[in-house]
Amino acid sequence: MSTHSGGPCLPAAASASSRGMKPKASSEHEEHIGKAGGKITLRADDYPQWYQDVIREAEMAEPAKVVKGCMVIKPHGYAVWEKIQRELDGRFKATGHKNAYFPLLIPQSFITKEAEHVEGFAPELAVVTHAGGEALDEPYVIRPTSETVIGYFFSHWVDSYRDLPLLINQWANVMRWEKRTRMFLRTTEFLWQEGHTAHASHEEAQEEVRRMLGVYGDFAEEVMAMPVIRGVKTDSEKFAGALQSTCIEAMMQDGKALQAGTSHDLGQNFGRAFNVMFQTQSGARDYVWQTSWGVSTRLIGGLIMTHSDDAGLVLPPRLAPIHIVIVPIFRGDDERSRVLAACAKLRDQLVDIDIAPPRARYRDFLEVVVDDRDMKPGAKFYDWERKGVPVRVELGPKDLEKDQVCVKMRVDSEAGKGKEFIPTAQFLATVRERLTKFQDALLAAARQRTLARSVELNTWDEFLRTFAGEQSSFAWCHWDGTRETEAKIKEQTRATIRCIPLPGQGPAPEPGACILTGKPSPQRVLIAKAY
């Protein structure tokens, strides 16, 4: 942990807004104070450490310690995942998919049936060799993904074109023995959803691939307030066993890219491997065309690195487990009881407000907490800021007199805008709009940041400068389309081709010369360092 000698460790975002904090005399222990106790490293000092600190201080998750590479997702983190699930699940069902559940264990032989698939996943499998006190005849692998076992069952479920399309989604945990783990971004075990569909034609499967990529993209932007680039993976980056992989890529605050979701065109590869055949309308027999698509708890890592600041976690209202915290301000028992009663009343009024978007199939009532812990208000402010609660309301005797509330947003909408004093009725009437605006502002800020750090590069010199050291940006460059050039770029700069953008996702396609080789290129591709 780096320390900041001299001066209190004030988060930059906090000090940016004029909140009249008196500078304190420096003391030796200033970086270890507050209820949660820990310190959040400044992003500018050490971005990876900041990320770890935010997760710890917001109580999102912690390393499992006793299980290598795994993590415990704590209630605050899991609540975010539940909101992600609810929102995505609704979108999957709205596009005709049904949930099902397949076994955690997969016969080892299944994995080997699709050549590229084995090659891709064999190195990272966990294998069960013993059970019930005896060695198994055939070991099971713990699923790294379920194409194979689902392919097996699809082969039993599909006979006719009338059985298609088969549109299945599974919410599950999977396990991949990765060399290097990072909280949320890459853990040995992780939670995800995996969609698996079978179609009668390639065209229909391709439509499905694009449709679900669209769902992911919309979700990322509308719900997570995380702008993404939608594109196609190069051959060397595609899913093991797929014909083509599409993805959404998001820019983190350090300029690196995060693959936030993937949607694969599996062609007939798994259909052949698992003999998933159907009889066509004309009576012929053919293999089904399959797709798979998934997003994982990695999204939470992306969420953190998209919005959070030096004061801790920042959550968009649509994913925040708690929307509003009410901090009572009082002195003496008399004030205490009066203020707490007012807090309870305000909470009761707020929790009846539904902030679900217009066409939602669910209701999204405000989650409100009255923080009546025996702590100083300031300590509570810091605590809730670290946890990313979008709105803080302070309620004290002065407010009771004036029938007003003091409102402070987790991220100030304008520079210098701090606490607002608003008539209670007006606050209640506009809180929904306030949260919507907050959500929009987060997206706009993220868009602005992504845009500001996106560049079109035309010379190898510029390219080397852009990716020198730990630096990264979203670089739109021409590429000659060869695997060799792709490998050289990676070797020399550690930046990779994140995707070939879909129409409307990058600069308008125009032919040019490859940034490395000068050979002809039909359009620019997105290059960045990646998580």
Partner RNA sequence: CGGGACGUGGCCCAGCCUGGUAGGGCGCCUGCUUCGGAUGCAGGAGGUCGCAGGUUCAAAUCCUGCCGUCCCGACCA
Residue 507 in contact with RNA, rule: CB under 7 A: no
**Helix, strand, or coil (residue 30):** helix
What is the distance between the alpha carbons of residues 418 and 411, in angstroms, rounded to a whole number? Answer: 9
Q: How far is the CB of 328 from RNA (least distance, A)?
A: 8
CB 339 within 8 A of CB 330: yes
> Which among 164, 160, 166 is positioned nearest to 100, based on CA atoms?
166
- At residue 81, what is the residue type? W
Closer by beta carbon to RNA, 419 or else 449: 419
178 binds RNA (CB under 7 A): yes
Which of 5, 6, 22, 358 touches RNA by CB under 7 A?
22
Q: Which stretch binds RNA (CB under 7 A): 56-64, 156-164, 422-430, 449-457?
A: 56-64
According to CB under 7 A, which one of 399, 431, 442, 528 is a site residue for RNA?
399
Q: Tell how strand 391-395 and strand 324-328 pair up.
A: parallel
- Half-sphere exposure in the Cβ direction for 372 (13 Å, CA): 13
Under the criterion CB under 7 A, does residue 338 sit at the interface with RNA? Answer: no
Least distance from RNA to the Cβ atom of residue 303, Å = 13
Nearest residue (CB) to RNA, 5 versus 27? 27
Q: 391: part of which helix (H) or strand (E)?
A: strand 391-395
Candidates 5, 44, 65, 511; binder of RNA (CB under 7 A) is: 65
Distance CA 377, CA 360 (A): 36
Q: Which of these, 173, 264, 263, lies nearest to 218 by C-alpha position? A: 263
Residue 525 contacts RNA per CB under 7 A: no
Site stretch for RNA (CB under 7 A), options 60-68, 82-90, 216-224, 449-457: 60-68
179 near RNA (CB under 7 A):
yes
The C-alpha torsion from 13 through 18 and 20 to 26, rounded to 10°, is 40
Residues in the chain: 531
CB 234 → RNA: shortest distance, Å?
11
Binding region for RNA (CB under 7 A) out of 14-22, 283-291, 433-441, 510-518: 14-22
Nearer to RNA, 286 or 420 (CB): 420
x/- map, 358-377, RNA, by CB under 7 A:
----------------xxxx
Residue nearer to RNA on the CB measure, 65 or 285: 65
The one-letter amino acid code at 529 reads K
Sheet holding 127-131, edge to edge: 105-107, 134-142, 127-131
Residue 88 as a binder of RNA (CB under 7 A): the answer is no
**Residues 124, 81: Cα–Cα separation, whole Å:** 25
Site for RNA in 201-240 (CB under 7 A): 239-240
**Contact set for RNA, span 403-462 (CB under 7 A):** 406, 408, 418-419
Among 16, 33, 104, 445, binds RNA (CB under 7 A): 33
- Dihedral class, residue 174 (left if φ above 0, else alpha if ψ from -120 to 50, else beta): beta
Are the beta carbons of 388 and 313 closer than 8 angstroms? yes
Would you count residue 185 as binding RNA (CB under 7 A)?
yes
For residue 74, how far is the Cα from the chain centroid? 16
Cβ nearer to RNA, comparing 43 with 158? 43
Binding part of the chain for RNA, among 34-42, 159-167, 268-276, 315-323 by CB under 7 A, reads 34-42
Q: How far apart are CA 256 and CA 196, in angstroms?
A: 29
CB of 37 to RNA, least distance (A): 4
* Residue 310 contacts residue 12 (beta carbons within 8 Å): yes
CA distance 305 to 72: 19
Kindly state the tokens that stand for 198. Answer: 């079978």
Answer for which of 183, 209, 325, 422 binds RNA (CB under 7 A) is: 183
Applying CB under 7 A, among 148, 262, 291, 521 the residue interacting with RNA is 262
8 A C-beta contact, residue 176 and residue 296: no
Residue 494 Cβ vs RNA, minimum distance, rounded to whole Å: 5
> Of the ranges 171-179, 281-289, 315-323, 473-481, which one interacts with RNA (CB under 7 A)?
171-179
Q: How far apart are CB 240 and RNA at their closest, in Å?
A: 7
> Quick one: which of 92, 102, 110, 190 contacts RNA (CB under 7 A)?
190
Q: CA-to-CA distance for 89 and 32, rounded, in angstroms?
A: 41
Which is nearer to RNA, 190 or 278 (by Cβ)? 190
Specify the 3-state DSSP secondary structure of 37. coil
What is the size of the binding site for RNA (CB under 7 A)?
91
Residue 450 phi, psi dihedral angles, 5° rounding: -60, -45
One-letter amino acid for residue 155 of the chain: S
Q: Considering the rule CB under 7 A, would residue 188 count as an interface residue with RNA?
A: yes
Considering the complex, state which of residue 23 and residue 358 has its C-beta at the smaller distance from RNA.
23
Residues 461-500 that bind RNA (CB under 7 A): 470, 490, 494
Residues 286-325, one symbol each (x = binds RNA by CB under 7 A, - = not), give --------xxxxx------------x--------------
Q: Is 282 in the site for RNA (CB under 7 A)?
A: no
- Shortest Cβ distance from residue 201 to RNA (Å)? 25
Nearer to RNA, 155 or 529 (CB): 529
Q: Output 157 or 421, the one with its CB closest to RNA.
A: 421
CA angle 14, 185, 207 (to 5 degrees): 115
What is the rounded CA–CA span in Å between residue 210 and residue 217? Answer: 10
User: Over 124-184, what HEC string results?
Assistant: HCCEEEEECCEEEEEEEEECCCCHHHHHHHHHHHCCEHHHCCEEEEEEEEEECCCCCCECC
Residues 109-138 that bind RNA (CB under 7 A): 120, 123-124
State in angstroms the smallest separation of the CB of 365 from RNA.
25
For the chain, the first-to-last Cα distance in angstroms comes to 22
Select from 46-54, 133-141, 200-208, 341-349 the region that touches RNA (CB under 7 A). Answer: 46-54
